Amino acid sequence: MKCRVCRGPAIIDVRRHNANFCVEHFIEQCERQVTKAIDAFSMIAPGERVLVAVSGGKDSLALWDLLHRLGHHAEGLYLGLGIGDYSDDSGVYARNFATARGLVLHEVDLRRDYGYDVPRAAAATRRVPCSACGLSKRHLFDEVARQGNFDVVATGHNLDDEAAVLFGNVLRWQTEYLARQMPVLPAGNGFPRKVKPLVRLSEREMAAYCIVTGIDYQVEECPMAAGNSHLGYKEALNIIEDRSPGTKHDFYFGFLDRAAEAFRQGLEQDATMLGRCRDCGAPTPSDRCAFCRLVERAGGRLPGTDGQGPDAGTDTPVVLGRRERP
Protein backbone atom coordinates (compact mmCIF):
# COMPACT_ATOMS: atom_id res chain seq x y z
CA MET A 1 0.00 0.00 0.00
CA LYS A 2 1.34 3.39 -1.01
CA CYS A 3 0.38 6.85 0.23
CA ARG A 4 -1.91 8.62 -2.22
CA VAL A 5 0.04 11.84 -1.82
CA CYS A 6 3.74 10.93 -1.62
CA ARG A 7 3.80 7.26 -2.77
CA GLY A 8 5.72 6.36 0.40
CA PRO A 9 4.62 3.34 2.49
CA ALA A 10 1.07 3.82 3.80
CA ILE A 11 -0.04 3.07 7.35
CA ILE A 12 -3.79 3.27 6.83
CA ASP A 13 -6.36 2.68 4.13
CA VAL A 14 -9.45 4.87 4.06
CA ARG A 15 -11.64 2.83 1.80
CA ARG A 16 -14.50 5.29 1.44
CA HIS A 17 -12.04 7.73 -0.15
CA ASN A 18 -10.37 4.87 -1.98
CA ALA A 19 -7.08 6.16 -0.60
CA ASN A 20 -4.12 5.14 1.55
CA PHE A 21 -1.97 7.52 3.57
CA CYS A 22 1.40 7.70 5.30
CA VAL A 23 1.50 9.23 8.80
CA GLU A 24 2.21 12.77 7.65
CA HIS A 25 -0.45 12.81 4.95
CA PHE A 26 -3.01 11.05 7.10
CA ILE A 27 -2.70 13.82 9.70
CA GLU A 28 -3.02 16.36 6.93
CA GLN A 29 -6.11 14.56 5.65
CA CYS A 30 -7.73 14.71 9.12
CA GLU A 31 -6.96 18.43 9.39
CA ARG A 32 -8.45 19.00 5.96
CA GLN A 33 -11.65 17.11 6.82
CA VAL A 34 -12.12 19.11 10.02
CA THR A 35 -11.48 22.39 8.22
CA LYS A 36 -13.96 21.39 5.54
CA ALA A 37 -16.66 20.59 8.11
CA ILE A 38 -16.02 23.82 10.02
CA ASP A 39 -16.24 25.90 6.83
CA ALA A 40 -19.17 24.08 5.23
CA PHE A 41 -21.38 24.48 8.29
CA SER A 42 -19.93 27.77 9.64
CA MET A 43 -19.08 26.04 12.90
CA ILE A 44 -16.39 28.32 14.28
CA ALA A 45 -15.49 31.85 13.23
CA PRO A 46 -11.89 33.08 13.55
CA GLY A 47 -11.13 34.27 17.07
CA GLU A 48 -14.07 32.55 18.71
CA ARG A 49 -13.60 30.81 22.05
CA VAL A 50 -14.31 27.10 21.85
CA LEU A 51 -15.15 24.80 24.77
CA VAL A 52 -14.36 21.19 23.86
CA ALA A 53 -16.33 18.48 25.67
CA VAL A 54 -13.54 16.10 26.66
CA SER A 55 -14.21 12.55 27.83
CA GLY A 56 -10.66 11.16 27.72
CA GLY A 57 -11.63 8.96 24.78
CA LYS A 58 -10.16 9.05 21.30
CA ASP A 59 -12.70 11.32 19.62
CA SER A 60 -12.72 14.19 22.07
CA LEU A 61 -8.94 14.21 22.53
CA ALA A 62 -8.39 14.03 18.76
CA LEU A 63 -10.86 16.87 18.31
CA TRP A 64 -9.15 19.04 20.89
CA ASP A 65 -5.76 18.30 19.31
CA LEU A 66 -7.02 19.10 15.81
CA LEU A 67 -8.70 22.36 16.83
CA HIS A 68 -5.52 23.40 18.62
CA ARG A 69 -3.38 22.52 15.58
CA LEU A 70 -5.71 24.47 13.33
CA GLY A 71 -5.17 27.56 15.48
CA HIS A 72 -8.49 27.75 17.31
CA HIS A 73 -8.68 28.91 20.90
CA ALA A 74 -9.93 25.69 22.47
CA GLU A 75 -10.25 24.91 26.18
CA GLY A 76 -11.45 21.55 27.47
CA LEU A 77 -14.21 20.58 29.87
CA TYR A 78 -14.08 17.21 31.59
CA LEU A 79 -17.06 15.92 33.54
CA GLY A 80 -16.46 13.39 36.30
CA LEU A 81 -19.47 11.12 35.85
CA GLY A 82 -18.72 8.83 38.80
CA ILE A 83 -18.80 5.64 36.72
CA GLY A 84 -16.31 3.60 38.76
CA ASP A 85 -12.76 3.05 37.54
CA TYR A 86 -13.80 4.02 34.05
CA SER A 87 -14.37 7.64 35.09
CA ASP A 88 -11.25 7.81 37.27
CA ASP A 89 -9.05 6.58 34.43
CA SER A 90 -10.74 8.78 31.82
CA GLY A 91 -10.02 11.85 33.93
CA VAL A 92 -6.34 10.92 34.05
CA TYR A 93 -6.14 10.70 30.24
CA ALA A 94 -7.84 14.07 29.86
CA ARG A 95 -5.57 15.76 32.43
CA ASN A 96 -2.38 14.25 31.03
CA PHE A 97 -3.31 15.39 27.53
CA ALA A 98 -3.97 18.96 28.68
CA THR A 99 -0.84 19.18 30.82
CA ALA A 100 1.44 17.84 28.09
CA ARG A 101 0.22 20.54 25.70
CA GLY A 102 -0.23 23.36 28.17
CA LEU A 103 -3.96 23.56 27.44
CA VAL A 104 -6.66 24.67 29.87
CA LEU A 105 -8.92 21.90 31.19
CA HIS A 106 -12.00 22.79 33.23
CA GLU A 107 -13.48 20.10 35.42
CA VAL A 108 -16.86 19.47 36.97
CA ASP A 109 -17.30 16.43 39.16
CA LEU A 110 -20.89 15.25 39.56
CA ARG A 111 -20.30 13.73 43.00
CA ARG A 112 -18.16 16.50 44.41
CA ASP A 113 -20.09 19.41 42.92
CA TYR A 114 -23.64 18.06 42.71
CA GLY A 115 -23.81 15.17 45.15
CA TYR A 116 -24.86 12.49 42.65
CA ASP A 117 -23.37 10.38 39.90
CA VAL A 118 -24.57 8.70 36.72
CA PRO A 119 -25.25 5.23 38.21
CA ARG A 120 -27.34 6.78 40.97
CA ALA A 121 -29.22 9.06 38.57
CA ALA A 122 -29.94 6.07 36.33
CA ALA A 123 -31.29 4.09 39.28
CA ALA A 124 -33.44 7.01 40.46
CA THR A 125 -34.95 7.67 37.04
CA ARG A 126 -35.22 3.96 36.11
CA ARG A 127 -34.01 4.78 32.64
CA VAL A 128 -30.87 3.73 30.77
CA PRO A 129 -27.76 5.41 32.23
CA CYS A 130 -27.00 7.16 28.93
CA SER A 131 -30.16 9.22 29.24
CA ALA A 132 -29.36 10.70 32.68
CA CYS A 133 -25.74 10.99 31.59
CA GLY A 134 -26.61 12.80 28.36
CA LEU A 135 -28.94 15.21 30.16
CA SER A 136 -26.23 16.03 32.72
CA LYS A 137 -23.59 16.53 30.04
CA ARG A 138 -25.72 18.83 27.90
CA HIS A 139 -26.71 20.97 30.85
CA LEU A 140 -23.19 21.31 32.26
CA PHE A 141 -21.54 22.01 28.90
CA ASP A 142 -24.03 24.83 28.36
CA GLU A 143 -23.58 26.16 31.85
CA VAL A 144 -19.78 26.17 31.80
CA ALA A 145 -19.86 27.73 28.32
CA ARG A 146 -22.12 30.51 29.58
CA GLN A 147 -20.06 31.16 32.68
CA GLY A 148 -16.78 31.12 30.80
CA ASN A 149 -18.05 33.26 27.90
CA PHE A 150 -17.40 30.59 25.29
CA ASP A 151 -18.94 31.18 21.87
CA VAL A 152 -19.27 27.55 21.00
CA VAL A 153 -19.30 24.05 22.50
CA ALA A 154 -17.58 21.41 20.35
CA THR A 155 -18.20 17.69 20.79
CA GLY A 156 -16.33 14.72 19.35
CA HIS A 157 -19.25 13.10 17.52
CA ASN A 158 -17.82 11.44 14.43
CA LEU A 159 -19.32 10.10 11.23
CA ASP A 160 -20.11 6.72 12.81
CA ASP A 161 -21.91 8.36 15.71
CA GLU A 162 -24.02 10.59 13.50
CA ALA A 163 -24.83 7.83 11.01
CA ALA A 164 -25.84 5.50 13.87
CA VAL A 165 -28.09 8.13 15.47
CA LEU A 166 -29.63 8.85 12.07
CA PHE A 167 -30.15 5.15 11.47
CA GLY A 168 -31.91 4.76 14.84
CA ASN A 169 -34.11 7.80 14.18
CA VAL A 170 -35.06 6.51 10.74
CA LEU A 171 -35.82 3.01 11.98
CA ARG A 172 -38.37 4.51 14.37
CA TRP A 173 -39.32 7.48 12.18
CA GLN A 174 -38.55 9.91 14.97
CA THR A 175 -39.42 12.86 12.76
CA GLU A 176 -38.83 15.47 15.43
CA TYR A 177 -35.32 14.18 16.11
CA LEU A 178 -34.69 13.98 12.37
CA ALA A 179 -35.61 17.65 12.10
CA ARG A 180 -32.98 18.54 14.66
CA GLN A 181 -30.10 16.24 13.77
CA MET A 182 -27.58 18.76 12.44
CA PRO A 183 -23.82 19.13 12.78
CA VAL A 184 -24.45 22.66 14.08
CA LEU A 185 -27.08 23.91 16.48
CA PRO A 186 -27.12 27.70 16.34
CA ALA A 187 -26.89 29.72 19.53
CA GLY A 188 -30.13 31.09 20.83
CA ASN A 189 -32.49 31.26 23.77
CA GLY A 190 -29.53 31.44 26.14
CA PHE A 191 -27.79 28.35 24.71
CA PRO A 192 -24.34 28.48 23.12
CA ARG A 193 -23.76 27.19 19.58
CA LYS A 194 -23.05 23.42 19.43
CA VAL A 195 -20.82 22.00 16.76
CA LYS A 196 -19.52 18.57 15.67
CA PRO A 197 -16.35 19.18 13.66
CA LEU A 198 -15.55 15.44 13.29
CA VAL A 199 -18.60 14.53 11.20
CA ARG A 200 -16.44 13.97 8.12
CA LEU A 201 -14.15 11.49 9.91
CA SER A 202 -14.88 7.92 10.96
CA GLU A 203 -14.32 6.35 14.31
CA ARG A 204 -11.52 4.22 12.91
CA GLU A 205 -9.78 7.32 11.57
CA MET A 206 -10.02 9.04 14.96
CA ALA A 207 -8.44 6.07 16.73
CA ALA A 208 -5.74 5.98 14.05
CA TYR A 209 -5.17 9.72 14.46
CA CYS A 210 -4.55 9.24 18.19
CA ILE A 211 -2.14 6.39 17.57
CA VAL A 212 -0.06 8.19 14.96
CA THR A 213 0.07 11.46 16.91
CA GLY A 214 0.87 9.71 20.20
CA ILE A 215 -2.33 10.67 22.03
CA ASP A 216 -2.83 8.28 24.92
CA TYR A 217 -6.58 7.77 25.39
CA GLN A 218 -9.09 5.66 27.28
CA VAL A 219 -9.50 2.51 25.19
CA GLU A 220 -11.79 0.76 27.65
CA GLU A 221 -15.48 1.19 27.06
CA CYS A 222 -17.87 2.86 29.46
CA PRO A 223 -19.40 -0.13 31.32
CA MET A 224 -22.83 1.49 30.95
CA ALA A 225 -22.70 1.30 27.16
CA ALA A 226 -22.63 -2.48 26.83
CA GLY A 227 -25.42 -3.81 24.70
CA ASN A 228 -27.16 -0.48 24.04
CA SER A 229 -29.04 -0.05 20.80
CA HIS A 230 -26.65 2.64 19.54
CA LEU A 231 -23.88 0.01 19.41
CA GLY A 232 -26.18 -2.33 17.53
CA TYR A 233 -26.81 0.36 14.88
CA LYS A 234 -23.09 0.93 14.49
CA GLU A 235 -22.51 -2.77 14.07
CA ALA A 236 -25.20 -3.05 11.42
CA LEU A 237 -23.85 -0.04 9.52
CA ASN A 238 -20.31 -1.40 9.64
CA ILE A 239 -21.42 -4.68 8.08
CA ILE A 240 -22.88 -2.69 5.19
CA GLU A 241 -19.86 -0.37 5.06
CA ASP A 242 -17.50 -3.32 4.81
CA ARG A 243 -19.28 -4.46 1.65
CA SER A 244 -19.92 -1.00 0.24
CA PRO A 245 -17.37 1.52 1.48
CA GLY A 246 -18.81 5.03 1.62
CA THR A 247 -22.30 3.99 2.68
CA LYS A 248 -22.15 5.68 6.09
CA HIS A 249 -20.95 8.91 4.52
CA ASP A 250 -23.61 8.86 1.80
CA PHE A 251 -26.34 7.98 4.29
CA TYR A 252 -25.50 10.88 6.61
CA PHE A 253 -24.51 13.56 4.12
CA GLY A 254 -27.30 12.56 1.75
CA PHE A 255 -29.69 13.11 4.62
CA LEU A 256 -28.24 16.57 5.34
CA ASP A 257 -28.27 17.55 1.65
CA ARG A 258 -31.54 16.14 0.49
CA ALA A 259 -33.82 15.08 3.35
CA ALA A 260 -33.23 17.08 6.55
CA GLU A 261 -35.00 20.17 5.22
CA ALA A 262 -38.23 18.26 4.65
CA PHE A 263 -38.33 17.19 8.29
CA ARG A 264 -37.62 20.71 9.50
CA GLN A 265 -40.65 22.17 7.74
CA GLY A 266 -43.26 20.90 10.15
CA LEU A 267 -41.22 22.28 12.98
CA GLU A 268 -40.85 26.00 12.37
CA GLN A 269 -42.57 27.13 15.59
CA ASP A 270 -39.33 26.90 17.54
CA ALA A 271 -39.53 30.53 18.60
CA THR A 272 -41.08 29.72 21.97
CA MET A 273 -39.55 32.12 24.45
CA LEU A 274 -37.86 30.21 27.22
CA GLY A 275 -37.98 31.30 30.83
CA ARG A 276 -35.24 30.74 33.39
CA CYS A 277 -34.99 27.81 35.76
CA ARG A 278 -35.83 29.05 39.24
CA ASP A 279 -32.97 27.06 40.77
CA CYS A 280 -30.05 27.34 38.37
CA GLY A 281 -31.07 30.05 35.91
CA ALA A 282 -30.71 27.84 32.82
CA PRO A 283 -33.10 28.47 29.94
CA THR A 284 -36.09 26.14 30.19
CA PRO A 285 -39.71 25.95 29.00
CA SER A 286 -40.86 25.05 32.52
CA ASP A 287 -40.37 26.47 35.95
CA ARG A 288 -37.41 24.21 36.82
CA CYS A 289 -35.07 22.72 34.25
CA ALA A 290 -34.79 18.99 33.59
CA PHE A 291 -31.28 18.95 35.08
CA CYS A 292 -32.35 20.39 38.44
CA ARG A 293 -35.20 17.87 38.58
CA LEU A 294 -32.72 15.07 37.83
CA VAL A 295 -30.32 16.23 40.55
CA GLU A 296 -33.16 16.23 43.05
CA ARG A 297 -34.42 12.78 42.07
CA ALA A 298 -30.89 11.39 42.29
CA GLY A 299 -30.57 12.75 45.83
CA GLY A 300 -27.98 15.38 44.90
CA ARG A 301 -27.79 19.11 45.45
CA LEU A 302 -26.90 22.23 43.52
CA PRO A 303 -23.61 23.92 44.41
CA GLY A 304 -24.00 26.62 47.01
CA THR A 305 -27.18 25.05 48.43
CA ASP A 306 -25.15 23.43 51.21
CA GLY A 307 -25.47 19.74 50.90
CA GLN A 308 -28.49 17.78 51.81
CA GLY A 309 -27.44 15.26 49.20
CA PRO A 310 -26.53 11.82 50.52
CA ASP A 311 -23.01 12.31 49.34
CA ALA A 312 -22.43 15.58 51.12
CA GLY A 313 -19.53 15.00 53.43
CA THR A 314 -19.43 11.23 53.21
CA ASP A 315 -18.48 9.63 49.99
CA THR A 316 -20.51 6.53 49.26
CA PRO A 317 -18.95 5.08 46.14
CA VAL A 318 -21.13 3.07 43.82
CA VAL A 319 -19.24 -0.13 43.14
CA LEU A 320 -19.21 -1.35 39.58
CA GLY A 321 -17.66 -4.50 38.18
CA ARG A 322 -13.93 -3.83 38.11
CA ARG A 323 -12.51 -3.76 34.63
CA GLU A 324 -9.12 -5.18 33.93
CA ARG A 325 -6.60 -2.51 33.13
CA PRO A 326 -3.51 -3.15 31.04
Partner 1 sequence: MNVRLRNPSRTVQVQGGRSVAKLLNELGLNRETVLVIRNGTLVPGDGFLEDSDEVELRPVISGGAA
Footprint on this chain of ligand SF4 (rule: CB under 6 A):
81, 118, 129-130, 133-134, 222, 224-225
Query: Which residue's CB is nearer to ligand SF4, number 81 or number 277?
Result: 81
Beta strands 152-154; 184-185: pairing state: unpaired
Closest separation in Å from C-beta 287 to partner 1: 25
Closest separation in Å from C-beta 137 to partner 1: 6
Query: Which residue's CB is nearer to partner 1, number 221 or number 250?
Result: 221
The one segment of 6-14, 69-77, 125-133, 249-257 that binds Zn ion by CB under 5 A: 6-14
Round the CA-based radius of gyration of the chain to a whole number and report it. 20
Cβ atoms of residues 250 and 259 within 8 Å = no
* 185 touches partner 1 by CB under 8 A: no
Query: CA-to-CA distance for 279 and 319, rounded, in angstroms?
Result: 31
Ramachandran class of 84: left when φ > 0, alpha when ψ lies in -120 to 50, beta otherwise = left
Contacts within 8 Å (CB) and 24+ apart, 24-31: 26/208, 26/209, 26/212, 27/209, 27/212, 27/213, 30/62, 30/66, 30/201, 30/205, 30/209, 31/66, 31/69, 31/70
Closest separation in Å from C-beta 87 to ligand SF4: 8
Query: Which residue's CB is nearer to partner 1, number 127 or number 276?
Result: 127
Query: Which residue's CB is nearer to Zn ion, number 168 or number 307?
Result: 307
Closest separation in Å from C-beta 131 to ligand SF4: 8
- 3-state secondary structure string, 154-181? ECCCEHHHHHHHHHHHHHCCCHHHHHHC
* 284 touches partner 1 by CB under 8 A: no
* 204 touches partner 1 by CB under 8 A: yes
Closest separation in Å from C-beta 79 to ligand SF4: 9
Query: CA-to-CA distance for 285 and 155, rounded, in angstroms?
Result: 24
* 134 touches partner 1 by CB under 8 A: yes
Cβ atoms of residues 37 and 197 within 8 Å = yes
Among 28, 221, 250, 261, binds partner 1 (CB under 8 A): 221
Query: CA-to-CA distance for 132 and 129, rounded, in angstroms?
Result: 6
Closest separation in Å from C-beta 200 to Zn ion: 20
Choose from Zn ion, partner 1, ligand SF4, none: what does 118 bind? Cβ within 5-8 Å by kind. Answer: ligand SF4
Cβ neighbors of 178 (< 8 A, separation 6 or more) are 166, 169, 170, 255, 259, 260, 263
Query: Which residue's CB is nearer to Zn ion, number 151 or number 279?
Result: 279
Neighbouring-strand partners of residue 168? none
Cβ atoms of residues 198 and 206 within 8 Å = yes
Q: Would you give the distance in Å from CA 180 to the centre of its chain?
A: 16
The number of CA neighbours under 13 Å toward the Cβ of 185 is: 16
Binding mask 44-83 for partner 1 (x = CB under 8 A): -----------x-xxx------------------------
* 279 touches Zn ion by CB under 5 A: yes
Residues in contact with partner 1 by CB under 8 A are: 1, 10-13, 20, 55, 57-59, 130-131, 133-134, 137-138, 160, 165, 202-204, 206-208, 211-212, 219-222, 225-226, 228-231, 234-235, 238-239, 241-242, 323-326
Task: Tell me which residues touch Zn ion (CB under 5 A).
Answer: 3, 5-6, 8, 22, 25, 277, 279-280, 282, 289, 292
